[in-house]
Amino acid sequence: MQAWKLGPALAMGNTVVMKCAEQTPLSALHVASLIKEAGFPAGVVNIVPGFGPTAGHAVSTHKDVDKVAFTGSTEVGRIVMTAAAHSNVKKVTLELGGKSPNIIFSDADLDFAAEQAHHGLFFNQGQCCCAGSRVFVEGKVYDEFVAKSKTLAEKRVLGDPFDLKTEQGPQVDDAQLQTIKKYVECGKKEGAQLVTGGKQWGKKGFFYEPTIFANVKDQMTIAQEELILAKQIFGPVMSVIRFDSMEDLIELANNTMYGLAAAVVTKDIDKALHVANNIRAGSVW
């Protein structure tokens, strides 16, 4: 995320003031040390740790800042946009939330599709704005895909993120862990089938098992909500949704307030292009 924000701005000759998420200041400060070591002139890159109402507000309202780019929750995005408008009407780019559809057609290589879907969601403990948390699978291969996904999830190695053998570390904090628990319980109550996972892992830390729900209906809460901070399942929870026709697929995939990203897995290029052209998403893989 830091490279994504810093690279284009610096390449075009700008200076940057970066306010990182309050839960993760150390990675940003380590990057700052590398930038200094690389010989960047003083003041070109500035890392400002802190909380949203103080550090974030200062960046958004400062009259010498010409543009703000923010990735995070919809609620905070509204605050950033309002603050920018009330200061010097600076330009704003917002990337807010995500419930990205990952679409698997029956002609796809299912082993490859399952691996890609697995990585596309469980990467970084599901804490990624473009994570493919809604997986749409064509009915002909639905059960087979769910079985393959279950096997992959149960093989996933949880543990110390500094151990090179570890594939999944902890969630960012206890608040996020509790929110994930709440939405998993909600999925059970609404009738989704818990295939694997569904509980905290280990006796210490904020670990949560890789979790898969099958027979999910797109109107269920777990298919619509995502947990960044207070409201967005920003965690390792996959919802697998069946589709049987192209028309149903497009409608279901677009049935979300978010539109950050999407993915299509098929051997048919015409089918892939048709879906990509009809999905409301900023990026389609």
pLDDT tens for each residue of 167-195: 999 999 998 999 899 989 888 888 889 99
Q: What is the largest distance, in Å, between two alpha-carbon atoms of the chain?
A: 59
Please tell me the distance from the alpha carbon of residue 38 to that of residue 155, in angstroms, as a whole number.
Answer: 39
> CA 239, 95, 22, 158: dihedral to nearest 10 degrees?
30
pLDDT at 51: 94
Residue ranges covered by each domain of the chain: 2-96, 101-284
Q: Please report the pLDDT score of residue 227 as a whole number.
A: 36
**Confidence (pLDDT) at 121:** 92
The residues of the chain scoring below 50 in pLDDT are 226-232
Shortest CA distance to 128 belongs to which of 34, 264, 263?
Answer: 263
CA atoms of 230 and 97, how far apart (whole Å): 12
- Numbers of helices and strands, H then E, in the chain: 10, 11
Q: Is 167 a catalytic residue?
A: no
In this prediction, residue 1 carries a pLDDT of: 83
Q: Which of 207, 208, 224 is nearest to 216 (CA)?
A: 224
Query: Does 2-96 carry CATH code 3.40.1190.20?
Result: no
Helices (H), the chain: 2-11, 25-38, 57-61, 74-86, 110-122, 142-155, 174-189, 221-224, 246-253, 269-278
CA 254, CA 80: separation in Å to the nearest integer? 26
CB atoms < 10 A from the CB of 69, how many?
16
Residue 254: partners with Cβ closer than 8 Å, 6 or more residues away: 278, 279, 280
The whole-angstrom separation of Cα 78 and Cα 270 is 38
pTM confidence score = 0.84
Rounded Cα–Cα distance for residues 65 and 56 (Å): 12
Q: Which among 37, 75, 95, 226 is annotated as catalytic? A: 95
Given this model, what pLDDT does residue 232 score?
46
Question: Comparing 2-96 with 101-284, is the CATH topology the same?
Answer: no
Residue 127 has a pLDDT of 86
Q: Are 122 and 236 in contact (CB under 8 A)?
A: yes
Give the CATH fold of the 101-284 domain: Aldehyde Dehydrogenase; Chain A, domain 2 (3.40.309)
